[in-house]
Structure 1
């Protein structure tokens, strides 16, 4: 029987007045997780009043 472990991380935008997501930094984080054997299974936007203030990325890997 296969067994998995799961890990969820939050990536928040940079900036105070105007929020921006650093795509290069997000790719770095996702590639680092992949190199550790984690597979991205879902992404959830953290919204408030129509504005994304972060994302939850959930990963899994076989144990």
Structure 2
């Protein structure tokens, strides 16, 4: 089976970062799920003092 992949990066907000808009994230996840994308991994990137800078989500779906 052949796969295609999609990577989404969401910026964490707030004065020192670390806050993710959960409503926006849920909406994005549900929209991608309806398009056949499956979440395969999610992680955050950090800046100073361990504050979250970005949340990265990686999706896959069968090609074709």
For the superposition of Structure 1 and Structure 2, which TM-score range results when normalised by the shorter chain? Answer: 0.7 to 0.9
Which residue of the partner structure matches residue 60 of structure 1?
A: 60
Compute the displacement of 1:13 (Å): 2.0
Q: CA RMSD in A?
A: 1.3
**Alignment: residue pair count:** 61
Shift of 1:56: 0.8
Q: Distance in 2 between matches of 1:22 and 1:44?
A: 15
* Higher normalized helix content (fraction of residues): 2
Stretches of structure 1 that go unaligned for 5 or more consecutive residues are none
Structure 2's unaligned 5+ residue stretches are none
1:51 paired residue number = 51
